[in-house]
Amino acid sequence: MDFELPKELVDYLAELDEFIEREIAPLERADDNIRFFDHRRENARTDWERGGLPTEEWEALLAEARRRADAAGHYRYAFPEEYGGRDGTNLGMAVIREHLARRGLGLHCDLQNEHAVVANNVGLLLMLEYGSPRQRAEWVDGLASGTRFFAFGITEPEHGSDATHMTTAAVRDGDDWIINGEKTWNSGIHAAEADLIFARTAGEPGDAAGITAFLVPTTTPGFRVEEYLWTFNMPTDHGRVSLRDVRVPGEAIFGAEGRGLAVVQHFFNENRIRQAASSLGAAQYCIDRSVAYAKRRKPFGKALAENQAIQFPLVELHTQCEMLRALIHKTAWTMDNRGTFAASEQVSMCNYWANRLCCEAADRAMQVHGGLGYSRHAPFEHIYRHHRRYRITEGAEEIQMRRVAGYLFGFMSSRAPKGV
């Protein structure tokens, strides 16, 4: 059993670091762009007069970073070579996402809005897997370059974690479909050209089959963003949308009719292993910074690092990072070699534990750094506020644990559920 990372991946991390230092770090420091990352970050990023949306200046800076990363051949790493990518693997993406997050806050990787110089663009991967020829022709180039986006309309106000009981429904009307319902936590909907709406088209509440995905342009009559939900971590791009007699053609179906849940589960597995890796990287960053600070901080004439009260909590967190890293790598490798659904149980393990671990590491970093750690002049409060979200939004940790229990006690199969 070989635990060494592939040499080409290790070499790529060095190539990526060199690009960041050459192209991205100078851009971060230019024209007071550092205001988006220092103690002013939340205020600089948030348009308080426009419903709390991200400021245009902030999003323009992110777009420029994406453009530079794409020009340098990094942005599309995970995509097939024919679309300008490097045929990146799940293992490769997990290692890269951890690496970028472990560098700390910066323009190279800001997880508050899923930005990174190596794209976590699961939308494109889904388009290649489930999109019709017409949909791929329209969307692939824009998705690949990061200049076009579609949002995901999965969660509903009354049905959060249980997608199979959604009340949004679509009924056939000739060659068209009429959609009625409501979705919430539509992240990025303010900039999206379409929303991937999941609606029941057949079956009964709770059935896995009978849910269909529709790619609905946000300009469609009857589609409306009702509000943006302000959160623990601003700015917000999380919209609540309503659909009132929204008419779309049959060609708006994404994937197969009645098989939309497969799209959801594919998205969840691909995204959650990468998110787990990012949370791991952020947790390790908090630990690394705390160790360094404890070595140089000398209250009462003695370094904090000499106190076991400082050492032991960080030792426990560091140990958990090492164990989690091994599980993430194994899980990503399994997905690469045995298919996306082959490690669903382990994806859930990685996801709920990584997000919890990151919050604990950020909290401990605040404690080690004292008053400075609690201030916005240190990055830990930002890391905590952001990653606290993922203990809910990437599938609540209770749902992830329930999923693991389903495999453990034999209520679930490691294969994709029937009907999807």
Give 252-283 pLDDT, tens digit per residue.
Answer: 999 999 999 888 777 777 788 999 999 999 99
Q: Name which of 235, 160, 63 is nearest 394 in CA terms.
A: 160
**Is pLDDT above 50 for 420?**
no
**Is pLDDT above 60 for 108?**
yes
Fold observed for domain 7-129: Butyryl-Coa Dehydrogenase, subunit A; domain 1 (1.10.540)
Helix (H) or strand (E) holding 100, with range, is helix 90-102
Dihedral of alpha carbons 278, 279, 284, 286, sign: positive
DSSP for residue 335: H
Q: What is the pLDDT of residue 418?
A: 46
- The per-residue pLDDT for range 208-260, each reduced to its tens digit, is 889 999 999 999 999 999 999 999 989 999 999 999 999 999 999 999 999 99
- 10 Å CB burial of residue 235 (0-12, 13-18, 19+) is buried
Instruction: List the structure tokens of 224.
Output: 């409306």
Strand-pairing partners, residue 224, are 242
Which percentage of the chain shows pLDDT scores above 70? 98
Q: What is the pLDDT of residue 415?
A: 54
User: Can you list the alpha helix ranges (DSSP code H) found in 302-417?
Assistant: 308-338, 344-374, 380-393, 397-408
Other CB atoms within 10 A of residue 3 CB: 7
- The per-residue pLDDT for range 41-86, each reduced to its tens digit, is 999 999 999 999 999 999 999 999 999 999 999 999 988 898 888 9
Residues listed for the chain: 420
Q: Name which of 412, 393, 396, 395 is nearest 404 in CA terms.
A: 412
Instruction: List the structure tokens of 48.
Output: 């308080």
Question: Could you tell me the residue ranges of all domains in the chain?
Answer: 7-129, 150-254, 261-409
d(CA 85, CA 382): 32
Mean pLDDT, residues 300-325 taken together: 96
First vs last Cα of the chain: how many Å apart? 34
pLDDT-based confidence at 414, cuts 50/70/90? low
Mean pLDDT, residues 370-381 taken together: 95
CATH number attached to the domain at 261-409: 1.20.140.10
Mean pLDDT, residues 200-211 taken together: 89
**Is pLDDT above 50 for 417?**
no
Angle at 160 between CA 277 and CA 268, to 5 degrees: 30
Mean pLDDT, residues 76-97 taken together: 92
Mean pLDDT, residues 391-416 taken together: 83
Q: Name which of 126, 90, 123, 113 is nearest 347 in CA terms.
A: 90
Domain 150-254's class? Answer: mainly beta
Which percentage of the chain shows pLDDT scores above 90? 74
> What integer best gives the mean pLDDT of the chain?
92
Q: Which residue has the higher pLDDT, 419 or 266?
A: 266
- Count how many Cα atoms sit within 13 Å of the Cα of residue 351 in the half-sphere of its side chain: 30
Mean pLDDT, residues 356-366 taken together: 97
